[in-house]
Chains A and B, each alone.
Chain A
Amino acid sequence: NAGVTQTPKFRVLKTGQSMTLLCAQDMNHEYMYWYRQDPGMGLRLIHYSVGEGTTAKGEVPDGYNVSRLKKQNFLLGLESAAPSQTSVYFCASSPRISSYEQYFGPGTRLTVT
């Protein structure tokens, strides 16, 4: 049982390049989330999904797109990376039952130059 895994762990992009971050969970959780963490800002929700095939915007969705084609995977895409997207990205999942507890992945450190 690996929990929540994220790929890649580190990435450096040039401005304008695109990339996809992959999140996978093996706990059969319904809900999945993408956050970014910046110094002094805490974790901010980018997008979330309440089930396979559904996605919704969080606090800071601009410049990102997501897809949830399979229940266990949640992809975060950057179509045209900007230096303001330099951050640490965390994926999380939670079960449908009302525990509210989220399980986080180890994070992806992204630098956009």
Chain B
Amino acid sequence: DQQVKQNSPSLSVQEGRISILNCDYTNSMFDYFLWYKKYPAEGPTFLISISSIKDKNEDGRFTVFLNKSAKHLSLHIVPSQPGDSAVYFCAAISGTYKYIFGTGTRLKVLA
């Protein structure tokens, strides 16, 4: 049973445009969400996070939105750059330090 789902395995976006990556979850007990970015042959690196008591968090070009009623979060990247091409994972935790990761979305930013 996949508690955290990323239904789009891949996404292509033109450089300078907005990239929107989506993530759905089923467990309403999750209280913190994170996005990680992963380049080939490297470990994931932390990108941005959001607490369940908020609905938006911004950090430069990256914004995460949380819709608790829909159990949905999204990552917006504006403007997209070729260096953003990577696999993006969303993750959720429920206070026990057990992180549940989605299956990832491969973003390709076209120059």
Contact = CB atoms under 8 A, between A and B. Distances in A.
Partners in one complex: yes
Interface of A: 4, 31, 33, 35, 40-45, 48, 50, 58-59, 90, 92, 94, 100-107
Contacts of A43: 44, 89, 91, 99, 101
Given A48-B97, A102-B99, A105-B43, 20 more contacts: A31-B97, A41-B103, A42-B6, A42-B89, A42-B104, A43-B89, A43-B91, A43-B99, A45-B98, A45-B99, A59-B98, A90-B44, A100-B32, A101-B34, A101-B46, A102-B46, A104-B44, A106-B42, A106-B43, A107-B42
B41 A107 contact: yes
Nearest to B43: A104
B18 interface: no
Interface of B: 4, 6, 32, 34, 36, 41-46, 49, 89, 91, 93, 97-104
B34 A4 contact: no
A40 B99 contact: no
A74 to B, nearest CB: 14
A104 to B, nearest CB: 3
A50 B103 contact: no
B71 to A, nearest CB: 17
A58 B98 CA distance: 7
B1 to A, nearest CB: 11
Contacts of B43: 4, 90, 92, 104-107
8 contacts: A40-B103, A42-B102, A43-B89, A43-B101, A90-B44, A104-B36, A106-B43, A107-B41
